[in-house]
């Protein structure tokens, strides 16, 4: 998946195979943020690692989290977990571990 949202031939637009682990492409763009950086896509369902790579983060060092209006802690996604992206979603990067002195 690239920033230009070039379709993957293995997952044609409008594909409705019904499998939960499939990328879902839309005909309209969905806007969202990751660490405050605005992004947009027509691919509604993507692996968390692809979203981290989209903003230049190494999935080996960071996890993806979704912010919620009334919760203090973000919902953390596993690297291979499919993320359903909604209009206006706010995501954050979460360091997997920090070295402490």
Return the domain boundaries, the chain.
25-95
Q: What are the 10-residue block averages of pLDDT along the chain, 101 residues in total?
A: 46 46 72 96 94 96 93 91 96 83 56
Model pLDDT, residue 15: 42
Adjacent-strand bridge partners of 76? 65
What is the rounded distance in angstroms from the CA atom of residue 59 to the CA atom of residue 79?
A: 7
Res 27: pLDDT: 74
DSSP E strands in 1-81: the ranges are: 24-34, 37-47, 62-66, 75-77
For 25-95, CATH gives 3.10.20.90
Distance between CA 101 and CA 96 in Å, rounded? 17
User: Rounded to whole angstroms, how far apart are CA atoms 40 and 31?
Assistant: 4
Torsion, CA 54, CA 86, CA 30, CA 74, rounded to 10? -30
Instruction: Judge whether 40 and 55 are in contact, CB under 8 Å.
Output: no
Spatial distance between the Cα atoms of 20 and 82, rounded to a whole number of angstroms: 8
pLDDT of 56: 97
């Amino acid at each position: 998946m690239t920033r230009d949202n070039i379709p993957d031939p293995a997952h044609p637009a409008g594909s409705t195979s019904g499998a939960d682990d499939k990328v879902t492409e839309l005909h309209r763009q969905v806007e969202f943020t990751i660490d405050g950086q605005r992004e947009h896509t027509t691919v509604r369902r993507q692996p968390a690692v692809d979203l981290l790579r989209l903003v230049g983060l190494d999935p080996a060092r960071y996890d993806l989290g979704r912010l919620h209006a009334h919760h203090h802690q973000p919902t953390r996604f596993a690297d291979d977990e499919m993320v359903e992206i909604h209009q206006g979603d706010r995501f954050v990067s979460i360091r997997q571990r920090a070295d402490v002195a």
